[in-house]
Amino acid sequence: MSLIYPQLGPKAQRGSKPRCHILTDGTRAQVAARLSALTGNTAIVAPTDVWLPEGFVNLKEAELDKAAEFDAVISACHRAALRAWWLGSPSIPAQTPTWDIASTCTIDGRPGMLLVEAKAHDNEFLAELKGRSLGNTAAARIARFPSHLTIGRAISDASAHLQLNSNHPIALSRDHAYQLSNRFAWSWKLAELGIPVVLVYLGFLNANDVLGSLQPKLARLGTPFPTSDAWTSLVKTRAAHIVAPKVWGSTIDIHGTPFIPMLATL
């Protein structure tokens, strides 16, 4: 099978992955305008801002505790604090969450971060509702256990604070909806460190390339989203026990620093 996007490899030819690279591909002015528009200009991305990935030139997905590219907003001290909060010790060999798209920006006139989690079909989102795995072997479980404990505490801490600050039900969990929970937890922690955050859950519409019937040699990945309502309904309905529907589109004040989770489609 020939690859449409040879830079990405055979397993990343369909769904949200190539679309995120397309979204961040182009001139700096074009990409900045696209990213700002995702948020209705709640987060203003300028051509001088920094984002990852950078189209098909720099394929790197950001780990916020390691991405020195964002040093103007997330300093080395911030990065150390993020890693200590999530893992407890620099010696724990665990990867922190990677982001589909992350960009520096301006939020309410302050330097901040735009974080994007993207999906192109229902199974991509439903996978978010699974808990964090300890691994399939005894050795894997032993190696993963220390980070499992610290991550559980970090998510629980974030959940309690978000519940208090939002005045809406929020029940983040390591063992249920781990990916959704860690996205909210990291956004909260950045805001707790004084960094404004806009978190966008982005649904790519009509991603019919995920349908195996269009390419018989490829398995069907899931059902694409035909409309914006289909995407927002899926998120709000299936994740309501983790994040109350009213949380989306609201501004959560974290000690004077805004955290704004929102839903968007392209």
Domain enclosing residue 225, as ranges:
10-265
d(CA 261, CA 24): 21
By DSSP bridging, strand 62-63 and strand 197-203 are: unpaired
- Give domain status of residue 74, yes or no: yes
pLDDT tens-digit map of 120-147: 999 999 999 999 987 777 776 777 788 8
Measure the CA–CA gap between 190 and 74, rounded to whole angstroms: 8
CA 87 to chain centroid: 19
Task: For residues 39 and 36, give the distance between their C-alpha atoms in angstroms, rounded to a whole number.
Answer: 6
Is residue 219 within 8 Å of residue 121, measured between CB atoms?
no
- As a whole number, mean pLDDT of residues 191-211 equals 96
The answer to whether residue 238 sits within a structural domain is yes
Q: Does the reported pTM lie above 0.85?
A: yes
In a domain, 173, yes or no: yes
248 pLDDT above the threshold of 80: yes
The answer as to whether 216 is a domain residue is yes
Give the pLDDT of residue 179: 97
- Average the pLDDT over 2-6 and give the result: 88
Per-residue tokens: 48: 């001088």
- Judged against a pLDDT cut of 70, whether residue 185 lies above it is answered with yes
Joined tokens for residue 204: 């790519």
Residues 132 and 175: beta-carbon distance below 8 Å: yes
Residue 200 falls inside a structural domain: yes
258 close to 250: Cβ distance less than 8 angstroms? no
Structural domain total, the chain: 1
Residue range 27-57, pLDDT digits in tens: 999 999 999 999 999 999 999 999 999 999 9
In-domain check, residue 5:
no
* pLDDT value of residue 1: 55
- Say how many C-beta atoms besides its own lie within 10 A of residue 165's C-beta: 17
Comparing C-alpha atoms, which of 131, 130, 128, 126 is closest to residue 225?
126
